[in-house]
Each structure stands twice: as structure tokens, then as C-alpha cells.
């Protein structure tokens, strides 16, 4: 509920605080006293339009602050600290045009403020906060009235499933299209690299083999020469080391220190013999086969070509081949997936079409009941010749995802139809969209009737009616007052009125007056006591001539309202 409103430097207001009660708050005052200024200021703190022209003459900044009590389950509670229930909205406008908005001290944008305002307040009589004039919400109101939330959620769930399947289908189609365009290239790459059977480090091994094969004769000569030097020829290294070992043994018999030299020389002789054996083996393995040399050269040429095509080294060739194989597998899988998805999508379309058809049938029944209920309510509010309809329209679309009786229709998560409230307020007039109804008084009464019928269908808990009684009097005024009183048992209700029949029902009566202080005109708001309320209503009934008779009539009107 709206608990408190504080306004500073706005129009005729220098500084004003207003407290509200949870039920029916009535605002009265003479024309031009500033009643609508209160509503305009509240509209601004809820994200409505504002202008620097609204700043009180001579001031640099105006501020409006509204304090709401918010239940934990309310959508706006996310701005409230855990364990608390107060949401304070604040808006400032400087003469420079700079505007700032806050929610519980946290800086937010105007759009966020407007979204918060729509969750909290329905302001009737102005177009900014009338959720029932938002055509996008008309189906939501109808579904809420008909208690069709389950059917609507079923439609939305099947639609989400269908949309996901169609998204997967589109991705698969793109993959398949890409596959078709790249099939030849990928197949060529995969086949070429697979048939080449490229192995890691193969090029290095081939280069080593090439060196051996290209110089086989000279390598054989070198190995044989080393073998001769070390072992075969007269006075070979092995023979000389054998002689050195004998001399070392002879020296060791005379000097113990020669013992270490004997071992060292012996190791040299063994090493020379081992190298000789290795050279013999190496020489025996050298092959100067021209055919093998040609094969190695050919393989190196083949790898060189593949390197140039696929990235410059053996690793890149192998990687390209692996990726080509994997992509071929994936894209071939997309073809299979696409075939399977077509069947799943057909089943999902059938389920979606059935859910849409079921929801549409129930919406049609609910639309008739809602139309009759609102018409009856409006008649009671003095609109005897009113006609109210819910226009539910289907739109054929060859690409639509709902099929009904062999025809395709546009549909989404909300179902088949678009929905809009239509109204005619005078005999012989064609019903027109509600959003085009021009009369403020008619709009307010229509909203009042609708709010009564659609009680509890949205999160809003504060209803504000600006001049709801325009153009009515007598019995209709009494009916409007009764309706406001009924609404105030479910919503906090604020209404500006000039009719005593409505004002008499106030749980809290606020009187707006102008006064001149220090040669400046300013607006003030007073909470009326019981006796002041009698005087105010008597003044509304009798004008400037307040007699004992009008006072008695005022008391009777208040008493009668209380008894009701």
C-alpha cells in the first residue's frame, strides 16, 4: 500500500506530506486547489513524464518521495531488504533538466522506476499507469478471469519445446548445407591424408635414412678404415694398447702406483675392441640400394607437398586429417538428426495446435462471460447503453506453427489469438478499441468496472482514480461510491471526487486547499476529522451556502454510507 507521499517545490507546493490509510482515501477540494497536482506528482515518482516547468517558481530542484508497504510475495519486494517491508521511491528533477531516480536509496533508471510503478499502482484517469489500457495485457486479464493459467502455461510449455526443436533443426540444416558445400573438400582432405598414412616424426627419420643412403659408399670406407686403424693393420691401436698394458703391469711390479694405470690402459684397449666390433656391424648394415634411395626421396617429396597444403609440418598434416574425419562424421550425423527432428517437430506441432485450440475454446467462453459481467457493471455505473466485447482474432499464416482444420495460423507462447477489449458507450456507435476511448470520465468508470470484475488478476495493490465521477450524479454517483468501497476492501483505493455521495464513504478524507503565505500561493492538504468531514460534504452539497439543513443532510449521507 501507499503509506506516505512527500512533495517539495512542485508547482504550487512548497513542501507537503500526505499519509494514506489502507482502504478508501478520498481527496476533495475546490477546482484549481491542486488536487490533480498530488496525482501528477505521484505519477512522476512512478516513472511518468515530467518537465522543468513543474518546478516551483524560484526553486532549483523538486523532489517527490513515495513510501510503499510491500508484502514479501510481491514482485517489487526484490528492492526491499530481507526482513523489511518498506519500499521508498524517490525522484528528483533539477532546473538544469537532470533527473535522478532511486529505489530504497539505490540509483535506478527512469525505465526501471516506471516498471516498478506498474507493479505497484494503477492510476486511472491518466494514460500512463492504466494497465488495462495496455492491449498486450488483455489476454492476460481474460485468462486470469477465466482461470485459464494452467491451459496458458501448457501452451507456453509446448511452444518452448517446439521452438527448441525448430532451433535445433535450423542448426542442423545449416550444418547439412555447409556439409553439402564442403563435402568434396573434406572428403578429399580426409582421403588424401588417410591414404598417405603420415606418421609422427616420419620426416626426420626419412632425412636420416636419406643421409645414409646418399653416402653409403663413403660411410662403408670410413667404417672399414676405423676398423683397420683400431685392430686390423700392423701396429694397430689395439696392438699398441696391448703393449702399453704389458708395460704398465711390469711397472706395477716395481711401483704400486702403476696399478691404477694398468686398469686404465686395459679399459682403453677394451674400448678400442668394442668400437672395432661396432664399425664391423655398421659396415655390414650399410646398403647402397638405389631403389630404397629413390623410395625415400619420393616419400620426402610427398610429405613436402602435404606440408605446403596443410600447414607446414607433420603435426599440421595429421591434425587437418583428424579434423576432416571428425567433421565428416559430425555432419553426416546432422543429416540423420535432421531426419529424426522432422518427426519430433511434427509431433510437437500437433501437440501445440491441440493446446492452442483447447485454450482458444475456453477463452471464447471466458470472453463472453467477461463481456456480460463488465456490461452489467457499467450499466450499474450509469453507462446504460454501453456495449463491451473481447475481440479474439486468429491470423492465417502459411508459415504459422499452429494448424487448425488444415489451415496454418500465427501463434506463439500466448496461443493462437490476439485479444483486445472493445467498447461502445453510445447507441448506434461501433465498438472501438478501449485505448481509443477519449473521455476521462468514461475511462475511469470503465476501469472501475473492470477492476471490480478482474479483482486479483495482477500484482497491483493500489488503485487511484482521478476525477472518476466526471459527468455523473445522483444514483450513478451512489453506485460509483459503492463500487469504490467494495474495491477498497481488496485494494488500497485513492479517489479524487467532487460528489458528496462518494466522499461520504471515505475511510480517510483529505481536503486540498490553496493558501497565501508571505505573498506566495501554496497548496496544503489536511486530514479531516469527523466534524470537518461533515462540513466539507455539506459544502460540496450546498456550495458557499452551508445551512443547518445541508449539515443535517451531510450527516445523514455519511451515516447512510456507514450503515451500508
In three-state secondary structure terms, 47 is coil
- Position 218 scores a pLDDT of 72
| Whether this model's pTM surpasses 0.85 | no
Helix (H) / strand (E) containing 512:
strand 508-517
Residue with cell 506516505: 4
Length of the chain: 564
* Gap between the Cα atoms of 537 and 303, Å rounded: 104
* Relative orientation angle of helices 149-196 and 290-310, to the nearest 10 degrees: 150
Region label for 57, one of left (φ > 0), alpha (ψ between -120 and 50) or beta (otherwise): beta
pLDDT digits (tens, 9 = 90+) for 333-347: 666 666 777 888 889
| Cβ count near 85 (within 10 Å) | 13
| HSE-CB for 517 with a 13 A CA cutoff | 10
pLDDT digits (tens, 9 = 90+) for 363-411: 999 999 999 999 988 888 878 888 999 999 999 999 899 999 999 999 9
* Gap between the Cα atoms of 270 and 251, Å rounded: 20
Backbone angles phi, psi at 377, to 5 degrees: -65, -40
Smallest CA-to-CA distance from 363 within 156, 150, 158, 146 is with 146
Backbone angles phi, psi at 10, to 5 degrees: -120, 120
Residue with cell 647402397: 288
Q: How far is CA 67 from CA 7, 110, 422, in A?
A: 12, 17, 36
* Gap between the Cα atoms of 114 and 127, Å rounded: 13
| Cβ count near 548 (within 10 Å) | 8
pLDDT digits (tens, 9 = 90+) for 172-210: 777 777 666 677 777 788 888 887 777 887 777 776 766
CA angle 128, 132, 134 (to 5 degrees): 65
Average pLDDT along the chain: 82
Amino acid at each position: 500500500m501507499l503509506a506516505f507521499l512527500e512533495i517539495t517545490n512542485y508547482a504550487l507546493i512548497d513542501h507537503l506530506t500526505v499519509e494514506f490509510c489502507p482502504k478508501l482515501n478520498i481527496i476533495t477540494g475546490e477546482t484549481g486547489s491542486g488536487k490533480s497536482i498530488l496525482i501528477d506528482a505521484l505519477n512522476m515518482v512512478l516513472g511518468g513524464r515530467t518537465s522543468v516547468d513543474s518546478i516551483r517558481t524560484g526553486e532549483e530542484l523538486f523532489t517527490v518521495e513515495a513510501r510503499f508497504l510491500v508484502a514479501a510475495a510481491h514482485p517489487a519486494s526484490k528492492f526491499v531488504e530481507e526482513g523489511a517491508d518498506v519500499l521508498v521511491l524517490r525522484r528528483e528533477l533539477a532546473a538544469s533538466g537532470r533527473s535522478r531516480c532511486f529505489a530504497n536509496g539505490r540509483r535506478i533508471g527512469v525505465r526501471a522506476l516506471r516498471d516498478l510503478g506498474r507493479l505497484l499502482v494503477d492510476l486511472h484517469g491518466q494514460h500512463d499507469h492504466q494497465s488495462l489500457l495496455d492491449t498486450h495485457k488483455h489476454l492476460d486479464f481474460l485468462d486470469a478471469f477465466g482461470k485459464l493459467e494452467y491451459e496458458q502455461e501448457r501452451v507456453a510449455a509446448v511452444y518452448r519445446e517446439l521452438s527448441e526443436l525448430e532451433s535445433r533443426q535450423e542448426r542442423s540444416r545449416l550444418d547439412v548445407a555447409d556439409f553439402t558445400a564442403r563435402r568434396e573438400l573434406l572428403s578429399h582432405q580426409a582421403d588424401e591424408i588417410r591414404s598417405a598414412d603420415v606418421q609422427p616424426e616420419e620426416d626426420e627419420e626419412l632425412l636420416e635414412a636419406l643421409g645414409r643412403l646418399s653416402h653409403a659408399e663413403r660411410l662403408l670406407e670410413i667404417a672399414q678404415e676405423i676398423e683397420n686403424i683400431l685392430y686390423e693393420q700392423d701396429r694397430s691401436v689395439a696392438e699398441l694398447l696391448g703393449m702399453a698394458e704389458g708395460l704398465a703391469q711390469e711397472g706395477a711390479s716395481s711401483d704400486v702406483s702403476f696399478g691404477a694405470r694398468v686398469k686404465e690402459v686395459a679399459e682403453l684397449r677394451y674400448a678400442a675392441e668394442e668400437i672395432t666390433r661396432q664399425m664391423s656391424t655398421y659396415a655390414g648394415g650399410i646398403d647402397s640400394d638405389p631403389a630404397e634411395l629413390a623410395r625415400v626421396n619420393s616419400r620426402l617429396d610427398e610429405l613436402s607437398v602435404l606440408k605446403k597444403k596443410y600447414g607446414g609440418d607433420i603435426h599440421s598434416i595429421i591434425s587437418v586429417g583428424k579434423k576432416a574425419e571428425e567433421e565428416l562424421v559430425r555432419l553426416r550425423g546432422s543429416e540423420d538428426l535432421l531426419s529424426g527432428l522432422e518427426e519430433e517437430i511434427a509431433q510437437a506441432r500437433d501437440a501445440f495446435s491441440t493446446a492452442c485450440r483447447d485454450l482458444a475454446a475456453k477463452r471464447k467462453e471466458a470472453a463472453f462471460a467477461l463481456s456480460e459481467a463488465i456490461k452489467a457493471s457499467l450499466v450499474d455505473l450509469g453507462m446504460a447503453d454501453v456495449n463491451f466485447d473481447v475481440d479474439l482474432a486468429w491470423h492465417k499464416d502459411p508459415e504459422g506453427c499452429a494448424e487448425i482444420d488444415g489451415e496454418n495460423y500465427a501463434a506463439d507462447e500466448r496461443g493462437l489469438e490476439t485479444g483486445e477489449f472493445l467498447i461502445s458507450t453510445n447507441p448506434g456507435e461501433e465498438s472501438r478499441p478501449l485505448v481509443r476511448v477519449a473521455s476521462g470520465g468514461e475511462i475511469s468508470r470503465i476501469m472501475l468496472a473492470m477492476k471490480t470484475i478482474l479483482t486479483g488478476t495482477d500484482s497491483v495493490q493500489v488503485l487511484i482514480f482521478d476525477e472518476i465521477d466526471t459527468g455523473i450524479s445522483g444514483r450513478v454517483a451512489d453506485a460509483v461510491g459503492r463500487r469504490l468501497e467494495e474495491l477498497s476492501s481488496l485494494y488500497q483505493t485513492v479517489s479524487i471526487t467532487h460528489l458528496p455521495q462518494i466522499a461520504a464513504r471515505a475511510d480517510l478524507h483529505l481536503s486540498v486547499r490553496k493558501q497565501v503565505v508571505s505573498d506566495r500561493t501554496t497548496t496544503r492538504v489536511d486530514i479531516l476529522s469527523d466534524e470537518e468531514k461533515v462540513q466539507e460534504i455539506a459544502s460540496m452539497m450546498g456550495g458557499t451556502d452551508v445551512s443547518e439543513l445541508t449539515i443535517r443532510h451531510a450527516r445523514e449521507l455519511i451515516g447512510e454510507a456507514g450503515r451500508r
